[in-house]
């Protein structure tokens, strides 16, 4: 960002880019007790920051675990590895402007990989171009940070759609759908602006506790990892939201379009220890089962009554660490188990007997177009056992190149036995580590039989830790990203 190299948390559950700046604020500061600005991570210096005069209130989590980051919106040059984009809009959050756990992970901000329509920054910029008295509020105006953020697109449902695409935004009237679509690239998230050979990102996460290793932590932009075959993945469509469900209306020149809000995929069923879990009674029966795929969550989150049913099977809030449990999600007809080594974490210090499941309750799906419809949030415990591919498709006309997700399970058949061996060999505490994100591009010396890059064998012994909270190490892997950059920037949008 600008002149700084910053390690960021990858977050497929959000769509905004924000970084911690060298500026500092503190609600508890006073003349006699100035704010403490002693972050130990690299910070963004706003010397090249071009402010817009707008502010972003970025909301994360749910009603149980809501967090926030607040800071001014501006633009600067942003890049990752060999790719960059000028005039990239983002939020420069001052130290003290967030209650997230970013600093504990050794990171300097969040890199959202979601869709423009779900970007708070995009919403703020778009809303600033229209008088408040003549439009519905675009951004999430709630000051309750503990809430799922969901865009308000109601202002578009009665707006005229008879203007041609490409017309300039009008500051004195409501925008048409086509005008809104034209803002996706100039004001939207970073990934669609990078000019990739294909509109795809793929992620694998490294196991950082119990038995450190597994998949290498990688981000692949523009292609799958070289040895991975697309036909080996299970591909599923994303949930598209109709205007009645709160989604973006279709443009006049393509009246049947429906748009995704997030990386939300249909789920056939969920199984625990060989038994199919019941559907939740907390959501309307007409809402089909789906899950948000969320690299920014350290847990798997599900319906409260279903999570309680799982707890009853476990016999309480803890379970023996050496006993493997099998939580499996059926997606697109294929089964994707959570690796037993990722299902839980150590409950008490110096105790490898008791573990807590990494599955917690979350809010039920919303209704009447007021929020997201997913019941499950599949975070890092799920993602450490798969290669996940995020295919954006055509952002403005998704029917021409539908967005979708692909999954490839990497859980070995003997994962339960490996869990038992890891627990029995641990001394005092289970191994834990957190590696800083390396710069540059990786060389995957080892892949599994499916071509997925594997982490180097860890030398971490039981109880060793870097002191940071769980965070997968990240290699930035880029293949075939430059030759067709200009072409693909156009193809994403037309």
Predicted local confidence at residue 223, as pLDDT: 95
Residues 336, 341, 346, 350: what is their CA dihedral angle, to the nearest 10 degrees? 180
β-strands 376-378, 475-478: how paired?
unpaired
Cα–Cα distance list, 65 to 101, 308, 397 (Å) = 12, 18, 35
Predicted local confidence at residue 17, as pLDDT: 96
Phi-psi label, residue 444: left if phi above 0, alpha if psi -120 to 50, beta otherwise:
beta
Predicted local confidence at residue 136, as pLDDT: 40
Three-point CA angle 376, 382, 384, nearest 5°: 155
CA distance 211 to 460: 9
Q: Which residue shows structure tokens 């309480």?
A: 316
CA distance 271 to 309: 12
**Largest Cα–Cα distance in the chain?**
69
Distance, CA of 30 to chain centre? 36
All domains of the chain, ordered by start, with CATH? 9-193 (2.40.70.10), 200-491 (2.40.70.10)
Distance from first CA to last CA of the chain, Å, rounded? 28
| Blockwise average pLDDT, block size 10, the chain, 494 residues | 92 94 72 62 94 90 72 96 92 88 84 94 85 39 43 60 44 74 92 92 94 92 96 99 92 95 98 96 94 95 97 94 97 99 93 94 86 95 98 97 98 96 89 74 78 74 38 34 30 41
Do residues 364 and 282 lie in contact, with contact meaning Cβ atoms separated by under 8 Å? yes
CA distance 159 to 118: 20
Predicted local confidence at residue 37, as pLDDT: 78
Predicted local confidence at residue 85, as pLDDT: 94
Predicted local confidence at residue 67, as pLDDT: 78
């Amino acid at each position: 960002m600008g002149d700084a190299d910053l390690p960021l948390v990858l977050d497929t559950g959000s769509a905004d880019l924000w970084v911690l700046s060298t500026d500092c604020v503190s609600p508890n500061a006073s003349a006699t007790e100035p704010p403490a600005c002693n972050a130990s991570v690299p910070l963004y210096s706003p010397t090249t920051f071009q402010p817009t005069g707008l502010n972003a209130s970025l909301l994360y989590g749910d009603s149980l675990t809501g967090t926030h980051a607040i800071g001014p919106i501006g633009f600067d040059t942003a890049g990752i590895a060999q790719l960059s984009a000028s005039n990239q809009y983002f939020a420069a959050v001052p130290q003290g402007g967030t209650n997230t756990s970013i600093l504990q992970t050794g990171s300097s901000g969040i890199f959202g990989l979601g869709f423009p329509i779900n970007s708070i920054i995009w919403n703020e910029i778009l809303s600033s171009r229209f008088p408040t008295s003549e439009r519905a509020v675009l951004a999430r105006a709630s000051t309750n940070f503990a809430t799922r953020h969901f865009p308000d697109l109601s202002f578009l449902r009665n707006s005229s759609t008879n203007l041609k695409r490409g017309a300039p935004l009008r500051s004195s009237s409501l925008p048409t759908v086509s005008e809104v679509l034209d803002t996706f690239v100039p004001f939207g998230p970073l990934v669609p602006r990078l000019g990739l050979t294909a509109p795809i990102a793929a992620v694998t996460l490294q196991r950082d506790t119990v038995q450190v290793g597994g998949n290498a932590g990688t981000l692949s932009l523009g292609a799958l990892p070289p040895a991975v075959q697309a036909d080996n993945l299970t591909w599923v469509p994303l949930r598209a939201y109709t205007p009645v469900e709160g989604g973006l209306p279709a443009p006049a020149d393509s009246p049947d379009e429906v748009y995704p809000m997030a990386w939300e995929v249909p789920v056939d069923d969920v199984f625990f220890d060989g038994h199919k879990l019941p559907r939740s009674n907390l959501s309307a029966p007409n809402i089909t089962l789906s899950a948000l795929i969320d690299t920014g969550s350290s847990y798997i989150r599900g319906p409260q009554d279903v999570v309680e049913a799982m707890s009853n099977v476990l016999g309480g809030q803890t379970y023996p660490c050496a006993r493997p449990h099998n939580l499996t999600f059926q997606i697109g007809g294929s089964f994707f188990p959570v690796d037993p080594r990722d299902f839980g974490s150590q409950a008490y210090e110096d105790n490898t007997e008791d573990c807590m499941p990494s599955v917690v309750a979350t809010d039920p799906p919303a209704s009447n177009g007021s929020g997201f419809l997913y019941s499950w949030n599949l975070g890092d415990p799920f993602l450490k056992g798969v290669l996940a591919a995020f295919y954006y498709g055509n952002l403005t006309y998704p029917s021409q190149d539908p967005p979708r997700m692909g999954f490839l399970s990497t859980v070995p058949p003997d994962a339960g036995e490996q869990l038992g061996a890891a627990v029995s060999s641990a001394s005092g505490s289970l191994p834990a580590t957190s590696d800083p994100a390396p710069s540059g591009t990786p060389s995957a010396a080892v892949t599994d039989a499916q071509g997925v890059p594997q982490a180097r064998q860890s030398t971490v012994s039981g109880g060793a830790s870097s002191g940071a909270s769980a965070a997968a190490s990240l290699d930035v892997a880029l293949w075939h990203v430059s030759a067709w950059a200009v072409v693909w920037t156009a193809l994403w949008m037309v």
